[in-house]
Every structure is written in structure tokens, then in C-alpha cells.
Structure 1
Amino acid sequence: MSIQLATAAALPQHATAVFLLPAGTQELPQSLQDLHEAARQYVADQLAADSKLITVNHFSHQHYFVVAAEKATVPLTAEAMRKSGHQLHAQLKAAKVAELYVQDLSGHADSTLALALVEGLALTAYQFAGYKTDEKSKEAASLTRISVVGDATDKELTELDGVLQGVFLARDLINMPLNKLNAEQFAERMAAAGEEVGFHTEILDLVRIEALRMGGLLAVNQGSPEPPTFTIMEYKPAGATNAKPYVLVGKGVVFDTGGLSLKPTPASMDMMKCDMSGGAAVTGVLYALAKNQVPLHVIGLVPATDNRPGGLAFAPGDVLTMYSGLTVEVLNTDAEGRLILADALAFAQKYEPEFVVDIATLTGSAARAIGKEGIVAMGTASEEQMAELKKSGNRVHERVVEFPMWEEYAEHIKSDIADINNLGKAEAGAISAGKFLERFTGGYPWVHLDIAGPAYLMAPDSYRGKGGTGTTVRLLYDFLVHRA
């Protein structure tokens, strides 16, 4: 169940509400009429004790008070408010609150903090519908409506809702298991999303993929009993401000066993339904852009397959001829994501793109380097373009860490018998994967985002929750909107 977001001209009497207070405040504004003296004194005592989340239960309704954090930057203050939204949600859930009003009394100049709190609440409230049949085991969502009193506009809340729906779509796709979301079903879901919000989808089947000689995608698919797909999503509204399209490329490995280079333990395989998180994120971004009618021409490319060791599975030592014509020596079949992305990045050249971003759960090396706290980025984009991406990352708190792409790293993927190999060295594994992809980019400005750390969480982490996070949907939406 999604939460309805709305504005309100005033706070109704006896409504359950949350009030945002400025950092360091010791007393409540006199404008809060619906608060008797004993309750007012209780809140004042809690503020004096440095409490950041205070609850007053009036039995017929509740009042919550959230103290804004003092942080070094506005984006960090907003992130603290998102986390406050997560903490508040636990209390709303316990009290079975269905409708909540939000009023910013912090003195902040705009609606940033109120919107951040709403965002944190909504992202926390997300639940994957799943496949439970026992009604008793299903967890009902109680919060159904949030109304913001004051500075926020209908346009801001509508836009926020569109972005949230994109995140939720990505999360749903990531959380679906292989037997509910193979490559063909994934493509069908992308097409359904396009039909709903107004972007065009073309699905290339096995015959067309073979005709295009996409050697990377075809090789990874060889061990699977199910065919691959290559999905092209195009959002091109009337009045688009960019003459050349932005292209987003998402890894769509719907399950990764590692192929013949089988993953060493069940623990390293049991979450591999998430290996299509990049493709899910691309779908979520296109959905949000179309839902909010952003005037940009954007194309999404998602090559999809599972990677299994059955049948005629490709093997270490094989040499592949890619869509671009380059040859690749396979040293490890578990380095499969870069193979299917390479075909898609080469395919992107036909659009003469303004800018290309690929998103992938690509390397354990990236996850080990910066954990779930950030996204590894590298590429051929200009310093200005990379700086814009980092600013967007800071604004939405999906922070980007740039890794170098020095020429020397090309040595890591040299092959004795082919143009390049698909593995690199033990050191700088995330970068050698990026250098591999670079060979297929064809000169357009390009950024590679390795989301192996934050894409799927085995334990809850504030408003990102447990399971698929939908990371990069908010990042890339913000980045693209600021370029519109």
C-alpha cells in the first residue's frame, strides 16, 4: 500500500501530528494551542534533557516532536531528518497511526526538512508484498496518508511521490526471486512499467540478440535453460530539452551462480537474485522521470539473463567475440556482469548519446573498499560532470566515491590470446572491471557506478530497510533533473 502525500493549509484540531523544532530549542512556540500546560512542561523537560524525538499521547491523538540536527551542511541536515523519519515510523506503527500531519517549526527557509522527514517515513514504510498465503503472517501497513502543513507545495509532494514510486518499483524487482522473475519476466515488468507511465519499450528476444551477435550476453546465457532478453526503454517527451539522449545501462543478471566458476559457498550465492539491481534501478529512474513528466530524452538499456553452469555453459579459457567486434578471453565465468554490460555499452553508441551511465552490482572489490555506505564511480566523464554527480549523491545521500582510471590499469586486463581478458588482477578489482567496460564505450562521456555494496542489505539499515534498496534511483533522478 502506498502512502498518499498531500498539503494542508492548516493543522486540524486534535490531529496526530509531528512538529519539527530547531536545533538547541528549549521551549515550544506559543502557537501550539492543542497542548495543555502539563504536556508543554513535559516536552520542555525532554528538550532540556537533549531528547531528539518526543511523544505526547493525548489518547485520541498523538503529538510528536522532532529536533532538527545541527550538521555541517544542508544535505547532511536533511539526511538526519530522513533518519528521524525512520525512527518516528516505529512509533507511528506501534500506535497504528493512519493519518499524520507534518509541520515545520524549525525556522528553516524552505520545505527541505519537512520533505526529508516525509521521504524517510515513506521509504521506511515500504513493504515487499511477497508471497505469504497465511493472512495472520501478513503485516498490514497502517500509515496511509501524510499531509504537510505550510511551505511545501503540491508540485513538490507530487514529484517526491513519483521518485518514491520509482524506488519502490526497483525494490520490488530486486526482491523477487528467480522463479518469479527470469529474464523474460523481467522484460515484461519493464514493459508494464512503461505502459503505466508513458515510456516506450522494445524487447529483443534470443533470435534478435543472436542476429546482433551480442557475444557477451549470449555466452553468459549458454548455461541457462531460459533465453536472454535485451530491453530498450525510451522516454522521449515532447519538448525534451536535450538534443542527444542520456543513456542508462543496467546489469540484468537475474540470478548468478557464478557459472562454471561456481561461487564458493552457499552464503555467497543466496542473495544473488539481487544481481539485476542495476537493471531495476534503470527501470525505476525511467519510471520516475515519466511519472513526473521531466522534459528529458532518456534511454534505458537492460541486458538480462541468469548465469548457470548447465548444458553448454561457457567456460574459463573461452574466447568471445563481442557485439563491438572485440575479442575477450574468459578467465572466470563469475565475472559475467561486465560481459553483458559491454554489449549494451557498445550498443549505446548508435544513439550518439549526450552522456551514459551504467549501474551494476559488479565487484566484491567495490563493496570491500567502501562498504554499503557509498557507490564506487569511475569513467571518462569530465571533472564538471563527475562533480555534478557527486553533488546529487550528497543531496540524496547516495554518495559517490570516484576511483581513478589511470592508463596503467589497462595492463590488468591484457590477454595473451585475445584483445582483453575479463578478470584483471587480485588488486584494484573494481577498477579493472571499469577499465574493461571502458573499451566498449566508444568515446562518449561515461560513468560506471558499482553498487555491489548498497544494492541489497542483509540486515535493516534505517530507511533503506532490508533487501533491495533501489539505490541510484534517487541519485540519477536528481542528477538528470538538474541537467534538464
Structure 2
Amino acid sequence: MSLHLAYAADFPSTANTVFILPAGTTELPVTASADLPAPARQYVAEQLAADSKLIRVNQYSHQHYYVVAADKKTPDLAAEALRKSGHQLHALLKADKVEELFVCNLTTPGGALALAEGLALTAYQFEGYKTDEKSREAPKLQRLTLVGPDLDADKVQELAGVLEGVCLARDLVNAPLNKLNAIQFAERMAEAGEKAGFTTEILDLVRIEALRMGGLLAVNQGSPEPPTFTIMEYKPEGARNSKPYVLVGKGVVFDTGGLSLKPTPASMDMMKCDMAGGAAVVGTLYALAKNQVPLHVIGLVPATDNRPGGLAFAPGDVITMYSGLTVEVMNTDAEGRLLLGDALAFARKYDPELVLDFATLTGAAARAIGKEGIVCMGTAEEETLLALKKAGNRTHERLVEFPLWDEYADHIKSDIADINNIGKAEAGAISAGKFLERFTEGYPWVHFDIAAPAYLTAPDSYRGKGGTGTAVRLTYEFLVNRA
């Protein structure tokens, strides 16, 4: 993340500053107007009376901005409104070519953090591969300094660590296949570990074959490039959990659908994002390690592309998974659950406290709730699911829980194998979850289908366009509260 976040006890009177005002403000506090001439104060008062939510005053040597906090039903919604205000403010900062901004919170605790979060995530730019200087736009905003009695340097640096994790996930999702195959993906995860402070072990084709990970190997059969299985571990001294949390992420670096070929350009052209679950896992581990959260957490990312070439697996094939279960392949485009099935069964060796998996798994989840939320389901206790939902509300990566009723097992029955890999036309997200459930015996588990919000084809406030880093902030928020 190129934008630097810092904390200060106060702000210089001649600095570019944004003041966050309480909802319903009609008069400027002295703190926010000390250096304003009378006409400028009158102008701001008129704008506040007109219910303006974002006001700019040009002081010539510097700029003042005023953001009025929204009056929302819950603190979580008020924080989200400030993130969106950060997005709107960024457009003004860009026009004014502001390089450094002080954020002064005059409202409820956490206001500066929320506004800065929206600003920083809006300021994110994927570096990409442009070589023409005319087509490259260097980011103007370089530094945010947060000010307020509810803040300290640790809180600001924690936010910076989380945002770096989100931006890492975004960078990985935005990279195309020819820049991020399974091996390169694994190497990028190892680089992130070296930078943040977690260890990485990369299993190559020989070791994956030795482990008999039939799901991962089957999906990889049509690819000219080998698969990888990356094991990341963050285990700080003084970790407060005796059994680790395990995060599992789908790492399909490109999905053609295999022999069950996807239509193009309707869906295949954005399938570089099919490893967004794996990106969320490494982004979360990065944030946890960077912020030295005292938890033992393991990340598992099986990775390959899914192509129709060579000896590609075919509809009707029966494969034997790492767990020993047999699967009848009815559709090679239902490949993500095969990788995840192997990884979820592998997770059992760690005797985990809880396993969370993340995947751009089904169009059914996207159609059900759109890009506005994340579908989840699982076997964890209600208390855990409630804590996850609260974390989702706080970060506005909201969760909608789907059922895993016993009757849904009928959707994946096979005549010739233990299960098949695709359900009926109805409840597609649930039958995918029901498939995964078969590989999670012995530990509590929650599955997150991030198919819709992981990659956006049009800009959406501070989430931007392209990879969003979905689930990093949610998972970090959940885990840090477990510490």
C-alpha cells in the first residue's frame, strides 16, 4: 500500500485537514474554524444549514474539508457511511492535488479510522503493466495523519496493517494468469510471509501426488503447469489459542471451466479472480502477522488453473480424494470444491479450533444475494456464527447464513461413487457447501462463498473496480476479537 498512515496528537494550523463533524452540526466548533476568516465561517454555516455533508474551503495555502457524520440506526452503519464519505472526499483531494492530509475526528470514537479506511481503499491502485507514461497516473495522496483523543499510534498502525493485507489480496486477484500461475501464486505468498512474519511451505507436484490429493490433481490434469499446495503458519510466542485456527482458500488461478467450458466473454474473461479465496487467506495472515496478533493461525491454499487441454478430467470420471472419499465428476466447472475438499480433509491433521474456508464457489450465491454480501454456512456453534456476523456488520462485509439441512445431501448423491460434485438447479450454493461438509469431520467449520463481492466489473465506492480483497477485514476483525 503506497499510502502511509500515521498518528499525531495535533495538527498544524496550515495543514490540509478534514474535520469530521457530528450529525446535525449547525455551527463549527472552534477546533475546526480557528484559522477561518469570518466570510469562510459564514459560508460553512450556510452549507451546514443546507444539510451539505461534504464541504470544502480553499484557504489558498491549504485546504479545509468538513465531513458531517450520518445519523444511522447503528454504530456499524454510521462507520460504513464514513467509509463512503472517505470515498467521496478522495475525489476532492484528487482534484486539489493534495499529497498529505490530517484527519481530525470531532465525533464519536473511531470516526477518523473509518474515514481513513474509506480514503485509503479508494486510493488503492493496481500497479498493472502499463509502460506508456501518458497512460500511467501516479497517485497524489501519499500520507494520512490521524488526530483525535480516541486514537493512538498503535490503533493507526493496526489499521495500516489490515489495509496492507487487503491491498495484497487485491493485487493478487487483479494479476492475470500469465503473471500469476500456481507456482507464482505460491511464491507471492511466501514473499508475503517473509515480509510480515509467518512461515511458508510449498508442496510441489511430487509431494501432492505422494499425499494422493485426488481433487487437486484431477483439476490440474488439463494444465501444462503443475499445481501447488501452500501451507502458511503464523505462530507467535504467547499465542492465546492452544489449537490453531485454520483458514482455507480456493486457489484456482484461472478457470476455463475445463471440458465443461464456460461461455466467453460472459464469464470466462474475469476468471483470473477465481483464486480470491486464497488471496483472502494470505491477506488475512499478512494482517495478523504484521500487527502481531497473539493467535496461532494456519493458512492452506491449493492452487492450479482449470483447463480443457491434454489429459483433462472429464464429466463422468470418478476420482479418489485425499480423504479416501470417491467423487463422480458431473461437471468439470465445479472444480473449486474438489480442491477445497482435499484441503479441508488435510486441515484435520492440525486438530483445529475452527476452520474457515473462502471461495469464489458458485454463481448461485451471487444470484441469491448479489455483491452486497457473503453467503456463509457451516457446522460451527451458533455463538461462533453470531461472532462472525457481528464482525461482518462492523466491517460491512455482511454475512447471510444459508442452511445445511440433512435433506440437501440428496442433491449430491451419486449412483457409482460416494458423492458427485454438482447438485440440482436449485440451492446450488448449498449443495456446494454440503459437498464440502463431507470433508470436515472432527472440527467446527464455516464456509464463505465470496463469488459476487470478490471481483467487481464496475466501481463501487471504496471497494473500487476489480479485486476487492473481500473477507480480509471480516476475518481479521473476527480473529482479533478471539485473541
TM-score (norm: length of structure 1): 0.99
Aligned pairs (5 A) from 1:216-227: 216-227=215-226
| Alignment-derived partner of residue 51 in structure 2 | 50
Q: State yes or no: 1:89 paired with 2:90.
A: yes
Deviations 1:46-86 (A, max 9, x none): 11111100011112111100000000000100000000000
**Alignment-derived partner of residue 182 in structure 2:** 183
Superimposed CA distance per residue, residues 443-469 of structure 1 (whole angstroms, 9 cap, x where no aligned partner): 310000000010000000000000000
5+ residue gaps, structure 2: none
**C-alpha contact (below 8 Å) 2:219/2:313 kept by paired residues:** yes
Task: Report the AA paired with residue 63 of structure 1.
Answer: H
Letter in 1 for 2:134: K
SS of residue matched to 1:41: helix
Match of 1:149 in 2: 147
CA contact (8 A) 2:97 2:140 kept: yes
1:378-457 correspondence to structure 2 within 5 Å? 378-457=377-456
Question: How many angstroms does 1:246 deviate by?
Answer: 0.3
User: Counterpart in 2 of 1:480?
Assistant: 479
Match of residue 12 from structure 2: 12
Q: Distance in 1 between the 2:458 and 2:13 partners?
A: 39
How far the C-alpha of 1:6 sits from its partner, in A, is 1.4
Shift of residue 224, structure 1, vs aligned partner: 0.3
- Corresponding residue of 1:2: 2
**Which residue is 2:100 aligned to?**
99
CA apart distance, 1:10 = 1.8
Deviation at 1:166, TM superposition (A): 0.3
Which of structure 1's runs of 4+ aligned residues deviate more than 4 A? Answer: none
* 1:159 maps to amino acid: E
| Partner SS for 2:482 | coil
Q: Distance in 2 between matches of 1:261 and 1:217?
A: 17
The answer (yes or no) to whether the contact 2:276–2:454 under 8 Å persists in 1 is yes
1:139 aligns with 2:140: no
1: CA distance, partners of 2:59 / 2:13: 12
* 1:24 paired to 2:24: yes
Counterpart for residue 120 of structure 1: 118
* Structure-1 residue corresponding to 2:64: 63
Alignment-mate amino acid for residue 403 of structure 1: F
Identical amino acids, percent of aligned pairs: 78
Code of the residue aligned with 1:42 in structure 2: it is Y
Q: Name the CA distance, whole Å, in 1 between partners of 2:252 and 2:289.
A: 25
- Deviations 1:352-403, CA, capped at 9 Å, x for gaps: 0000000000000000000000000000011000000000000010001000
Q: Distance in 1 between matches of 2:317 and 2:355?
A: 29
1:182-201 per-position Cα deviation (integer Å, ceiling 9, x unaligned):
00000000011111111110
Measure, in 2, the Cα distance between the counterparts of 1:301 and 1:165.
Answer: 20
CA distance in 2, matches of 1:445, 1:313: 34
Within 1, Cα distance between the matches of 2:370 and 2:27? 40
Within 2, Cα distance between the matches of 1:455 and 1:11?
Answer: 37
**Where do residues 319-398 of structure 1 align in structure 2 (5 Å cutoff)?**
319-398=318-397
* Aligned-pair CA distance for 1:233: 0.2
Compare 146-155 and 306-315 and name the one that shifted more: 146-155
Secondary structure of the 1:482 match is: helix
Question: Does the residue aligned with 2:400 lie in a helix, a strand or coil?
Answer: strand
Give distance in 1, aligned partners of 2:148 and 2:166. Answer: 26
Contact (CA 8 Å) 2:106, 2:148: kept in 1 or not? no
CA contact (8 A) 2:112 2:147 kept: no
**Cα deviation 1:271-294 (Å, max 9, x = unaligned):** 000000000000000100100010
Local SS of the residue matching 1:271: helix
- For residues 10-64 of structure 1, what are the alpha-carbon distances to aligned partners after superposition, in whole Å with 9 as ceiling and x for unaligned? 2212111001111111111133211111011111111111110001111211110
Equivalent position amino acid for 1:144 in 2: Q
- Any idea what the Cα deviations from partners look like across 1:140-177, whole Å, max 9, x if unmatched? 11111111122211000010000000000000000000
What residue number does 1:458 align with? Answer: 457
SS at match of 1:193: helix
SS of the residue corresponding to residue 447 of structure 2 reads strand
SS at match of 1:69: coil
One-letter code aligned to 2:69 = A
CA deviation after TM superposition for structure 1 residue 115, in Å: 0.5
Within 2, Cα distance between the matches of 1:149 and 1:160? 14
CA distance in 2 between counterparts of 1:265 and 1:2 reads 35
The alpha carbon displacement at 1:266 in A equals 2.1
User: AA paired with 2:140?
Assistant: S
For 1:185 and 1:482, locate their aligned partners in 2 and report how far apart those are by CA, in whole Å.
Answer: 33
Q: Distance in 2 between matches of 1:105 and 1:237?
A: 37
- Using the size of structure 2 for normalisation, the TM-score is 0.99
Partner of residue 210, structure 1? 209
1:442 Cα deviation after fit:
1.3
Q: Equivalents in 1 of 2:199, 2:154: separation in Å?
A: 25
Counting only pairs closer than 5 Å after superposition, residues 237-386 of structure 1 correspond to structure 2 as 237-386=236-385
Number of positions where the alignment pairs a residue of Structure 1 with one of Structure 2: 481
Number of the residue aligned with 1:195:
194
Distance 2:249 2:10 in 1: 44
Letter in 2 for 1:134: D
1:195 aligned partner, one-letter code: E
Does the alignment pair 1:467 with 2:466? yes
Secondary structure at the counterpart of residue 422 of structure 2? coil
Distance in 1 of aligned mates of 2:379 and 2:355: 10
The secondary structure found in structure 2 opposite 1:267 is coil
* Structure 1 runs not aligned, ≥5 long: none
